[in-house]
């Protein structure tokens, strides 16, 4: 995520934030931003788990495919195989 942002850019962003918000407000903003990101990650993980559970339950309900029967032919399990 930060691969394209180098150290000079990070320092510039920090200095601008320090000027705009001040030294007293900056830690509070960082803390609330961290909490927000953690909550977002938790919610997205929960959503992924719910989707995976639904996919798993739907796959368990799906029966294996059977071959279509030919009209007038006896059922497949009663046909004798040639020896």
Could you tell me if 69 and 75 are in contact, meaning their C-beta atoms sit under 8 angstroms apart? yes
Interatomic CA distance for residues 75 and 69, integer angstroms: 7
pLDDT at 39 over 90: yes
Domain locations along the chain: 31-55
Residue with tokens 């938790």, as numbered in its chain: 42
Percentage of the residues of the chain whose pLDDT score is greater than 90: 35
- Residue 36 — pLDDT band, cuts 50, 70, 90? very high
Could you tell me if 26 and 18 are in contact, meaning their C-beta atoms sit under 8 angstroms apart? yes
CB atoms within 10 A of CB 64: 4
pLDDT at 65 over 80: no
| For residues 32-50, average pLDDT | 95
The whole-model pTM stands at 0.52
The pLDDT assigned to 80 comes to 65
The pLDDT assigned to 23 comes to 87
Could you tell me if 40 and 47 are in contact, meaning their C-beta atoms sit under 8 angstroms apart? no
């Amino acid at each position: 995520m930060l691969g394209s942002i180098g150290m000079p850019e990070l320092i510039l962003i920090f200095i601008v934030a320090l000027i705009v918000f001040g030294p007293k407000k900056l830690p509070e903003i960082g803390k609330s931003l961290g909490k927000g990101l953690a909550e977002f990650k938790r919610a997205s993980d929960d959503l992924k788990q719910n989707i995976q559970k639904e996919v798993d339950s739907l796959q368990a309900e799906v029966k294996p495919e059977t071959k279509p029967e030919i009209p007038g032919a006896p059922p497949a399990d009663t046909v004798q195989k040639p020896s």
